[in-house]
Amino acid sequence: MKTAISILDSLFQAAEQFATEQGLSRSALYAPAIQLYLQIHRYHGITDALNQVYATEASQLDPAFAAAQARSLPEDDW
C-alpha cells in the first residue's frame, strides 16, 4: 500500500542519507522502522494500567504467605 506522510525536512534528509548509505529504498527503511516502533509501544497501555492499580493497592506479600513461602525453601549452607 502506498501512503503519504509529512515529516520534518531534516528528518527526511537524514533518512534519505542513511538509506542511501545502507543501500536501502525508502520502503525498506520506513516499514521496519514503523514495525519496530509499534513493537516497542504495543504494551505501554498495559503498563500504565498496572501502574494505576498498584498506585492504590499494597504490593507487599501477606506476612503469613511470606512466612509459608520461606518455610518451603530448602535449607542451604552459606
- Mean pLDDT over 47-73 rounds to 86
Kindly indicate the confidence band of residue 74, based on its pLDDT and cuts at 50, 70 and 90. Answer: confident
Per-residue pLDDT tens for 13-37? Answer: 999 999 999 999 999 999 999 999 9
Global model pTM greater than 0.75? no
Q: Is residue 1 part of a domain?
A: no
pLDDT of residue 43 exceeding 90:
no
Q: Is residue 64 part of a domain?
A: yes
pLDDT of residue 4 exceeding 80:
yes
Q: Is residue 32 part of a domain?
A: yes
Q: Is residue 2 part of a domain?
A: no
Q: Is residue 3 part of a domain?
A: no
Domain range for 42 is 9-72
What does the alpha-carbon distance between residue 67 and residue 39 come to, in Å, rounded to a whole number? 40
How many domains are contained in the chain? 1
